[in-house]
Structure formats: structure tokens, C-alpha cells
Structure 1
């Protein structure tokens, strides 16, 4: 059985996860990296890395970090037993620069790059595998969930337009791409000075289609203190369901 499992694994694309972890955490307050804050006893980043470590579709991990976080993040990987090959590299001045720095450090065998927010600790190995498998078929894929709130365009403090909620989705991570496509898209965005909020946007700039798969309401991003409270409640609920 072990032989056949290895044989099947050899047939799938080599995938490196790029963990965006070089942000300043300004909205969290307190001057402490939100990625090192405890979430039910385990740091936020460690939970994210554990999910990537357990995902059968991910072969290696590269973390883009601030200079002062390189050593702590490396220690974190050892403390929490991350078994897959991990590199921690210095990120750039913005998200696209950081992700490109990580992409350029990926294993040469890499065919797919899976960009994961370090601050999405509730992502599951199953969701990661689903998105990677979709990207293996179509070159670019991401998880998304329908919007619950009505979204309005605001100008000068007044509503300028109400958008059709049925056509909108909130995109999450991991966002997975064919490796050369993502690197070219990020390089192009940086050269153009494009202001992007996610990696799908970089690929979309090149006219490429990003296909969406069903995400999870639980796959939230830790941005403010209340997000930690919600994430802890979700974890406790998961344990109750187990």
C-alpha cells in the first residue's frame, strides 16, 4: 500500500506553499506580531503551518517574514514539529514583493505555488488540497464564499452605488497558481506599481482567469482582536464536533 501511495503522489504536481507573514499587524494593536499571538494555546502562525504540513498536496513551505521575525518563525517550526521542508526568508515592502521573494526561493521542482495568509489559522488540509487540485487542472484557483452583507460604493461619505450581492464573493487563501504564471504576474505588478490586495489580482492583470472553488466561512483572517475571539470559538466548536 505504501508503494502505491508513493507512486500516486509522484504523479501529482510538486506544490510549494508560500506563507505571507511579513505584515506589520497594525490593526491588531500592541506592537506584537499577530502571528505569534496564542489561539487556544498555540500561536496563530503555528496553526496555519500545521494545516499546510498535514495537506497531502503540499510538498514544501516558504515563509516570507519581517527581518526581526526570521529567527522566531524558524524556531516556531521546530517547536511545533513542522515536518515538511521549510524556509523562512525576508519579505519585501508590500505583499506582492514578499510573495515574490518567497516564490523565488521555492524548490526548483515546484510546478504549483499556493499562497497562504499566515493569519488564516483555521484553514483545513482538506480545503488546501481541494484548491491545489483545482489549480492543477486550470492553472489558477482560489476558495471563495458568498457575501452576506450588502456592499455599497461610497464617495465623500455618501452612497454612490449599491452593488449586486449575487455577483460578489469574498476570496480567501490559499490562492494557487502555476508557478511561472504567478512569478510573472507578481513581477509585472511590481514593475507597474500596481496596488493589489491579493495574488489573484496580479494574475488577473495579465488577463488570466482565476477559477473559484467553495471556501469556508470558518476560514477567517485574523486582523483585529475580535477575530481571535471568533477563531477560538470556532476551534472549540470543531473540537465538540470531533
Structure 2
């Protein structure tokens, strides 16, 4: 009872926060395998992602934007793994930004901030979600990111044009947390201008706002190719009880 009271008081001290999970991507680079439903240790990738959000103290509800093909399977995953924070599973749009916007419109009216998470990042931890949320409450928009390790080249027509200083380069991840009204406006503006944005921070940046960076984790990989499933399996085993199968 005391722990429940502390949790309730902590919740009242922060803005109501919804999580939007982008789960409508294709499997073009997965050889036809649905990366969200592919299993690691017998558990679907999307289940790991949703369970991390379920355990996060900063997430009050979850809305999943799913593709037509995995709409019902993801609903079943939520039931099977007891993911009670999932408020709705909605049909995603043509592009990622469309899916995120549709999910934003389904969030509860009391939502002040929204955490956007790639469904195919199964190594998200509740701790990282909470760190990004806390930074976003201060800065209105924040994202997990890690410094790049490789030298990056800008290439055009097969020729190197320049080599940016990698000291200033970060690989952006999710979660990305933003004031919900700000993100809605940013995505609408990008759509009106015909600009495709590959992440939510990019839309916010076009309004002249600079998102804050929170140090992410090199383990927080996105499943994009079949090899990534093997990597994720090893990483989850290493994480052990923090988020691996012992915690399911």
C-alpha cells in the first residue's frame, strides 16, 4: 500500500505521458519476415518493447500504430503478456510520420507529453525511457542518442564531398519525448510543406526548436535485417534479469 501511494504521488508530480509505438513498418530488409513478430528466446520483438514501456514509471498509457497485417497479432501479444497500459491499437498510415500522428490523435485528452518509440527496438530499458522523459519535461523535446564511432562521409554521385567532424555527430535513437501539442503541430507543418521526416525530432527542428540529447545506449539497436535478431539475442542474454527473458 505504501509503495502504491508513493507511485501515485510521483505520478502527480509529472505531466501525464502517453507512449506511441510505431509498429507499422514493412519487412523489405528482413527477407519477408515480420521483424515485430519475429521471436527472440520465444518472445516477439514487439513484446520486449511494450514490456519496457509497461514497466516505465513515466508512461501512463500506450497507443500502438500497427500495420494491417500485424494489427490483430499485436493485440494478441498485449493480451498474452499482460501489457495493461496499452490503451489502443490503431491502424498506421502510409509513412512513419502518418502513423505517429494518427496515434497522437488517439491519446487520452489529459496527455501533455508523448514518448515515441520504435516497435523494433526491443532493448529499450525503463530507465532510459525515464531519463528521456525527465529531460523533455524541461526542454519540451528530447531524444536518446549516442556519439557515432565511425568516420562519416558525405557522398554524392559516388564521390566523397566532405568529412564532417564526428565529434559533433550523434546516431539518434528512440525514445523521443515531446510536448504533444508541439509534436502535433510539427508533424502537421511538415505534411503541409510536403517534407518527409524520418524521426519526430526532425519535424520539431523545422520549427526552430532544438531537441535536447540524452545519452542512449549502443545496445539500443533497431531490428532492421535478419542479422540484427542474432545481435539482439546476444545482447538480451547479457542484460539478464534487467530486461531479458528472466524478466518476462
Q: TM tier, shorter chain?
A: over 0.9
Equivalent residue number for residue 60 of structure 2: 59
CA distance in 2, matches of 1:176, 1:240: 26
CA distance in 1, matches of 2:18, 2:241: 32
Partner SS, residue 67 of structure 1: coil
CA distance in 2, matches of 1:114, 1:176: 4
CA distance in 2, matches of 1:115, 1:228: 22
CA distance in 1, matches of 2:29, 2:216: 24
Equivalent residue number for residue 199 of structure 2: 198
Deviation track 1:12-70 (CA, whole Å, cap 9, x = no partner) reads 111100000111121111x2311000012110000000000000000000011112221
Give the alignment of 1:74-153 within 5 angstroms: 74-153=75-154
Aligned length, in residue pairs: 241
Instruction: Tell me whether 1:231 sits opposite 2:208 in the alignment.
Output: no
Structure 1 residues 130, 240: closer, same or farther in 2, change over 3 A?
A: closer
- Which runs of at least 4 in structure 1 moved beyond 2 Å after TM superposition? 1-5
Q: How large is the RMSD of aligned CA atoms in angstroms?
A: 1.3
Give ranges in structure 1 of 5+ residues lacking alignment.
none
Structure 1 residues 89, 240: closer, same or farther in 2, change over 3 A?
A: closer
Equivalent residue number for residue 184 of structure 2: 183
CA distance in 2, matches of 1:158, 1:196: 25
* TM-aligned CA deviation for residue 103 of structure 1: 0.3
* TM-aligned CA deviation for residue 240 of structure 1: 8.1
Partner SS, residue 146 of structure 2: strand
* TM-aligned CA deviation for residue 94 of structure 1: 0.3
* TM-aligned CA deviation for residue 138 of structure 1: 1.1
CA distance in 1, matches of 2:181, 2:209: 13
Q: Please say which of residues 31-40 and 207-216 is displaced more in the overlay.
A: 31-40
Equivalent residue number for residue 213 of structure 1: 214
Q: 2:16 aligns with which of 7, 14, 17?
A: 14
CA distance in 2, matches of 1:180, 1:102: 13
CA distance in 2, matches of 1:240, 1:15: 26
CA distance in 1, matches of 2:23, 2:241: 30
Give ranges in structure 2 of 5+ residues lacking alignment.
none
State TM-score, norm by structure 1: 0.96
* TM-aligned CA deviation for residue 191 of structure 1: 1.3
